[in-house]
Amino acid sequence: MKTGVNIDDAQISHTLFRLFVALSGYLAGCIMATQTKGVADAAATLKSDLLTAATRRRDEATKSLLDERYHEAMQLLATLAATVDEIEPSLLAAYAELWEGPVESEVHAELLREVGFSFWPGTASEFVSRFISKLTG
């Protein structure tokens, strides 16, 4: 049975190729959007963690008025939170990729505790770099 439409192999191949290119572009866009979302989520989480740690240090500062380290740590953590948006995307992506479970969470928590006591980063980028360094050696 003939339908009146005559499509040769070259036309089919060309159509399939165009479909493949379009699908590849779509998938690449989805991957890029997922990576961008991962970096954005990492930045938002880092900022939240820094601000939570600053709040904790503020509470400790009110209980230990004679120990200025808590107040200084609170200010430093707030400063770090304010610089999160300045972290290079590639550094933030490396930071986000390292998160796998409890080991990374503990290293992160330990680093937050060190700020203002044994570690004085000037920016959130320095904080992230130290985190990466601790996990990768």
Rounded Cα–Cα distance for residues 46 and 43 (Å)? 5
* pLDDT bucket at 95, cuts 50 / 70 / 90: very high
pLDDT, average across residues 1-20: 60
pLDDT at 17: 56
CA atoms within 13 A on the CB side of 58: 10
Q: Give the mean pLDDT of the chain.
A: 82
Q: Please give the model's pTM, rounded to 2 decimal places.
A: 0.71
Give pLDDT tens digits for 50-61. Answer: 999 999 999 998
Q: Where are the domains of the chain?
A: 35-136
65-70 long-range contacts (CB < 8 A, ≥24 apart) are 69/116, 69/117, 70/116
| Residue 119 bridge partners (DSSP) | 115
* pLDDT bucket at 36, cuts 50 / 70 / 90: very low
Give pLDDT tens digits for 67-94. Answer: 899 999 999 999 999 999 999 999 999 9
Q: Would the pLDDT of 34 be above 50?
A: no
